Amino acid sequence: SQQGEEDPQALSIQEGENATMNCSYKTSINNLQWYRQNSGRGLVHLILIRSNEREKHSGRLRVTLDTSKKSSSLLITASRAADTASYFCAINNDMRFGAGTRLTVKP
């Protein structure tokens, strides 16, 4: 099994700005998933990108995958205070998580 490692560990931005966080991994993958966790809650699935995909969109979310660099990025556009949460990536179906990126969006 393997886990993704998210960076940065923490990110603080103003409402309306874009937020980018990254996930790196070490071996080949079939898919990569991003999850969000609001304080005191369980994780919520955001988006899944497969190894043969390079980019995927869902609302204000944009995920890219670069298998040659073994990395993925999650972009949140026009951020809102409600986007304040921790964001995690998971590799394949292994469901091992890194420490996450703690995003704070200031109103």
Summarize as ranges the residues that interact with another protein (CB under 8 A): 1, 30-31, 33, 35, 41-45, 48, 50, 86, 88, 90, 92-93, 95-100
**By C-beta, is 7 or 15 nearer to another protein?**
7
Torsion angle of C-alpha atoms 38, 40, 41, 43, degrees rounded to 10: 60
Q: How far is CA 22 from the centre of its chain?
A: 6
Tokens standing for residue 86: 């921790």
Smallest distance from another protein to CB 39, Å: 11
25 or 35: CB nearest another protein: 35
Give the span between the Cα atoms of 47 and 54, in whole angstroms: 13
CB of 19: closest distance to another protein in angstroms?
18
